[in-house]
Amino acid sequence: MSAFLATMNPGLLLILAGVICAFMPNQRVRQVLTIATPIAAFWLLSGAVQEVDLMSLSMIGVDMVLYRVDSLSFIFGFAFLIAATLNGIYALHQDDRVQDASAMIYSGAAVAATFVGDFMSLFVFWELTAISSVFLILKTGTRAAYGAAMRYLGVQVLSGVLLLYGATQLFAVTGDMSLRSLSLGTDAGTWLLLFAFGIKAAFPLMHNWLQDAYPRATVVGAVVLSAFTTKLAVYVLARVFAGEPILIWIGAIMTVFPVFFAVIENDLRKVLAYSLNNQVGFMVCAIGVGTHLALNGAAAHAFAHIIYKGLLFMSMGAVLYRTGTTKASELGGLYKSMPWTAVFCLIGAASISAFPLFSGFVAKSLTMSAVLHEGHLIVWAMLLFASAGVLEHSGIKIPYFAFFGHDSVKRVEEAPFNMLLAMGLASFICIAVALPAVSGFGYGMFYQMLPFPDAARTYQPYTFDHILTQMQLLVLAALAFVLLQRFNLYPEERPGTILDADWAYRRAGYGAMLWSGAVWRKAGPALMAVWQGLWHRAYERIEAAFSPQGVLSRGPLTGGMAIWVAVLLCAVLLLSFLS
């Protein structure tokens, strides 16, 4: 590898390919670029020397590190590149320059952000992820998608602005812009940084951009979006705020509340968006715990999650592509015409539910063990509750209502071959990283990539105790589902809009703005007339008093006024002497 290539941030290669895609009318060339570039980027990454600033520059007095690799950034970057490759394969059937370019630039920005070493460079790529990805929502071409895209862009740009503001505050105090571990509250600008990362990670009450935008994105767009934005935030949280206790509780709440929304949501892509929220909660919680075991858990969970969540979005994308809907109330029985998609969806469901032999099991076990080991009993109980919830919405609800359950009598073609290939490869990874005792394969190899491989080596996920307790949790939860179905206690899937925190700005805030506008339109002219009348009268009074023809300018006023001022001054002086 040449010296230049060895110091090139692999994300820049993806961004360059994305720019070429934007101007390339030939679909075949774009197809080659979307698949070959992430593979080439991985080749670059694999040759990078770790823990060294490989590319840096100074600008406006700020030292910027554009490429630096370590064990934490490596696993995130690696997962992003796998996702970019799978997304490229999944999108092969579509001839859409804008989406190809958008997906590549967005993926590249996320990869580049993962390997930068300062806040200023992070800000640049952070904003680029927002601006490039919005086209994946806009390309749906509906009014609803347009609205969601604008809200998405607004929220993401706000996150970037907060990041920049926080970073400049930090720089003003410390003179150091490097991306490093910070203490919340102690270092300047850290709360702003936490808010910036929190928006992107979809912290509670800041989360609705996710459920708003992802289900409105195109078939391919939702798959692409699911991989990068929130996991980039998770990476930065792990880099900057590892061990901050507040993250333990934020993460725990994140795991629990989406479970309730997911159970009543009818749109299965929105269910997946809530599920994404819930899964990121596990990672945030692990980052808050901050031990080596916990940080390994966060990184492993992020890696596994990028693949299995992508797989689930791919399966729902295939359903949407073939049937035109992902509404649970309109689906069912699709296993008859889309059996391969159903099989891959079931593998994704088993992985996210953390069944033994699937990726979620070897990843989530690390976090659960770390939380319990550090004595966070209530948080652990919350995560365990959320694990049962994951089985409900992603493990059972998604495959059951799409592929089994009530037969919708929709008889469609199986998903295109390229979609099946992408889903097949994702399924393979979900199993390959979880297999026990397979040389050069399985969780041993997976754990070797984690930020703290020594801590990972001593951890055994496949103990009899782990398998027994996890199978108890999952099997009895599945039994609860079967019993609730049998006794008609499972809530019926019904169309509708589920209110969430975004009601505050989509309904209350927007309503207040409309109301203010209406009030102003009606009362404005009258209020302006009153104001102008008052101003006119005041002006007349002032003019009558102070103008050259005014009262104060007449006769011996100036001299008289001086005498009266002197008299008053004397009176004040006299009073002050006497008192």
Partner 1 sequence: MPHNDTGMHPIAKAVFGWVGHKWTGNIILFGLLGVSAVLIGIDLVYDRHVEEDIERISGFYGLYGFIAFGFVVLMGRPLGWLLRREENYYGDADAGDDDGGQP
357-386 residues near partner 1, rule: CB under 8 A: 372-373, 377, 380, 384-385
The answer to whether residue 205 forms part of the interface with partner 1 (CB under 8 A) is no
Nearer to partner 1, 351 or 369 (CB): 369
The answer to whether residue 169 forms part of the interface with partner 1 (CB under 8 A) is no
CA distances (Å), 257 to each of 43, 55, 200, 386, 398, in order? 40, 42, 18, 9, 18
CA distance 115 to 66: 7
- 499, 514, 534, 568: residue in contact with partner 1 (rule CB under 8 A): 499
Nearer to partner 1, 88 or 215 (CB): 215
The answer to whether residue 147 forms part of the interface with partner 1 (CB under 8 A) is yes
Contact 133, 209 (CB under 8 A): no
* CA proximity to 94, closest of 27, 39, 17: 27
Question: Which of these ranges, 40-48, 90-98, 107-115, 209-217, lies near partner 1 under the rule CB under 8 A?
Answer: 209-217
Nearer to partner 1, 464 or 577 (CB): 464
**Binding residues among 254-273 for partner 1 as defined by CB under 8 A:** 259-260, 263-264, 267, 269
What mask, x for binding partner 1 by CB under 8 A, covers residues 223 to 242? --------------------
CB of 448 to partner 1, least distance (A): 25
CA distance 309 to 579: 84
The set of residues, in sequence order, having a beta carbon less than 8 Å from that of 367 and lying 6+ positions away, is 282, 283, 285, 286, 289, 294, 297, 298, 301, 383
Contact 98, 22 (CB under 8 A): yes
- 95, 498, 501, 550: residue in contact with partner 1 (rule CB under 8 A): 498
CA angle (24, 231, 143) in 5-degree steps: 60
The answer to whether residue 293 forms part of the interface with partner 1 (CB under 8 A) is no
Question: Which of these ranges, 1-9, 16-24, 447-455, 498-506, lies near partner 1 under the rule CB under 8 A?
Answer: 498-506
Question: Which of these ranges, 16-24, 424-432, 444-452, 492-500, lies near partner 1 under the rule CB under 8 A?
Answer: 492-500
CB of 151 to partner 1, least distance (A): 10
CB of 247 to partner 1, least distance (A): 21
Phi, psi of 58, rounded to the nearest 5 degrees:
-110, 130
Residue 87 CA, chain-centre distance (Å), reads: 18
- 406, 411, 457, 537: residue in contact with partner 1 (rule CB under 8 A): 411
**Binding residues among 384-403 for partner 1 as defined by CB under 8 A:** 384-385, 387-389, 391-392
Nearer to partner 1, 96 or 127 (CB): 96
CB of 454 to partner 1, least distance (A): 22
7-28 burial, b for 16+ CB within 10 Å, e for fewer?
bbbbbbbbbbbbebbbebeeee
DSSP, residue by residue, 213-263: HGGGS-HHHHHHHHHHHHHHHHHHHHHHSTT-HHHHHHHHHHHHHHHHHHH
The answer to whether residue 141 forms part of the interface with partner 1 (CB under 8 A) is yes
Contact 115, 10 (CB under 8 A): yes
Question: Which of these ranges, 168-176, 189-197, 474-482, 559-567, lies near partner 1 under the rule CB under 8 A?
Answer: 474-482
- 16, 71, 506, 550: residue in contact with partner 1 (rule CB under 8 A): 506
The answer to whether residue 547 forms part of the interface with partner 1 (CB under 8 A) is no
Q: How many residues bind partner 1 (CB under 8 A)?
A: 79
Question: Which of these ranges, 25-33, 86-94, 336-344, 526-534, lies near partner 1 under the rule CB under 8 A?
Answer: 336-344
Nearer to partner 1, 45 or 210 (CB): 210
The answer to whether residue 249 forms part of the interface with partner 1 (CB under 8 A) is no
How many other β-carbons are positioned within 10 Å of the β-carbon of residue 173?
11
CA distance 87 to 85: 5
* CA proximity to 249, closest of 294, 296, 281, 218: 281
The answer to whether residue 175 forms part of the interface with partner 1 (CB under 8 A) is no
CB of 483 to partner 1, least distance (A): 8
406: region left, alpha or beta (phi > 0 left; psi from -120 to 50 alpha):
beta
Cα four-point dihedral sign 119, 34, 279, 317: positive
Question: Which of these ranges, 31-39, 128-136, 210-218, 305-313, lies near partner 1 under the rule CB under 8 A?
Answer: 210-218
Nearer to partner 1, 201 or 223 (CB): 223
